[in-house]
Structure 1
């Protein structure tokens, strides 16, 4: 089977999986659609399995297609690693793929990116946003080199490197805070809790804290970005649990009020990588630089 396989077939397979369409995969790769069809047919012949169900609006992977996915990522990654290993003889170059929560990127990560790309201009960082569970899934499937998550997954196949402990706080508008001071915390049971959604661990921690405080939250709304959450709270739409660092300026300027809900909540963000991932030279550089700079920041506190 292996002698029939080529890296371009796997790249095409991954594009079809991600785009859920032969035509969109062709557009993404710069191919005509017949080329995509041919590549998938070669893979199906090599695997002796049908990989996709053809639907009226795109395609859906079969059980064999789902199983092949993580190996396809590994095959493509191996090819890239070989190329990068040859390149590192001269200077570090290649691509590092990672995923993290948007709030962590905005409050913690962007300064590190500026440092890293200045030090290693030939290394490209490909950063995507996500939440704990889908970040973990991407690492487990070998789709990315690293994830940054707000909690140790505590899995035998994942290595977790602690980076920074994040303090989480409940914020509200000044008007809502005045009502809470008048009526007590149970006033929040009439309000909306705003979060990134149930996929985010911050939402889970907020729900637990509210339950411990005896507050029954009847309604919650989901926003895709930290800025939308902050603007909604400031407009008086509801309250939210967010990293303190993300709203420190607004708190100092009096734009938000700090809700006195239980004791402070903390989240330990860390870098995760698959235990069996063969890291490229640029990825190893990225990991060592990030861990070293995070440790240096902690020592300054």
Structure 2
């Protein structure tokens, strides 16, 4: 089979997969649509498998297509690594794709990422946000070089590198915190919990803790961003379980308060990478830099 495969076919396959359309893939690649169609057909003939379902509006991968995708991404990444290794430039360059939660990027990664890119200006980093399961899936199918997740996924295919321990706390407006302190946690039976949605790690743990304490959640509000959640909490629309670092300034100013009925939940954010991922030179520099940064940050915290 390998004798019949060409590198450009892999690139075409991945572009169709990501664009979900032959025509959009052709536009992105600078091909006419018939070229994309022919290359995908040749791939399917070589694999003796149908790789895409043709739909009225676009395409979606078949089960065989999803399996093929993992190898296509690895093939392309290997080509990028080879090109960078053979490059005459002595200055590190390359592209790094990383998936992580918005809250971690805002509170933890922005500063070291800025320092890294200042040191290596020819390296490009493409961050994308997601929740734990989405991040894990992107790393498993090789569409992301790295992920940062709030808990060790404990998967054989994944290397997990602990970065920083974090406290999760229930947070609310001053008025709601006063009601809880005065009347007890039963008050929350009539309040709304705010989160990023059911797939969010924080949301699932909030419901688990509340159920353990006999609290039934009557209403939920799902919001797409950290700022919307904080503003909603300040308005008294509900309460939320989120990392304490996300609201440190608001707690210090008194705009938001920690609900004292529950002990903080500890979790450890870690960097994940697929064991079979062929890391380019830029990615190796990145992982070394980030691990070293957080290790030094932990040592500074111990000595404070």
TM band (smaller chain): over 0.9
Aligned pair in 2 of structure 1 residues 190, 31: CA closer, same or farther (>3 Å)?
farther
CA contact (8 A) 1:192 1:237 kept: yes
What is the aligned partner in structure 2 of residue 179 from structure 1? 179
Aligned pair in 2 of structure 1 residues 9, 247: CA closer, same or farther (>3 Å)?
same
Q: Calculate the aligned-residue CA RMSD, in Å.
A: 1.5
State the TM-score, normalized to the length of structure 1.
0.95
State the TM-score, normalized to the length of structure 2.
0.95
Structural mapping, 1:144-223, within 5 Å: 144-223=144-223
Shift of 1:125: 0.7
CA contact (8 A) 1:87 1:93 kept: no
CA contact (8 A) 2:26 2:32 kept: yes
Stretches of structure 2 lacking an aligned partner (at least 5 in a row): none
Shift of 1:88: 7.2
Segments of 4+ in structure 1 off by > 4 A?
A: none
Q: Secondary structure in 1 aligned to 2:144?
A: coil
Partners in 1 of 2:279 and 2:66 — Cα distance? 24
CA contact (8 A) 1:142 1:274 kept: yes
Shift of 1:180: 2.1
Q: Secondary structure in 2 aligned to 1:170?
A: strand
- What whole-Å deviation, never above 9, does each CA across 1:91-136 have from its counterpart, x for those lacking one? 2111111110010000000101110111111111111111111111
CA contact (8 A) 2:26 2:36 kept: yes
Structural mapping, 1:30-49, within 5 Å: 30-49=30-49
Q: Secondary structure in 1 aligned to 2:72?
A: helix
What is the aligned partner in structure 2 of residue 100 from structure 1? 100
CA contact (8 A) 1:209 1:261 kept: no
Q: Secondary structure in 1 aligned to 2:239?
A: strand
Shift of 1:68: 0.6
- Asked whether 1:273 is paired with 2:266, we answer no
Partners in 2 of 1:217 and 1:88 — Cα distance? 60
Shift of 1:39: 2.0
What is the aligned partner in structure 2 of residue 290 from structure 1? 290
Structural mapping, 1:26-175, within 5 Å: 26-87=26-87, 90-175=90-175
Stretches of structure 1 lacking an aligned partner (at least 5 in a row): none
CA contact (8 A) 1:151 1:269 kept: yes
Shift of 1:24: 2.4
Moved more, 27-36 or 206-215: 27-36
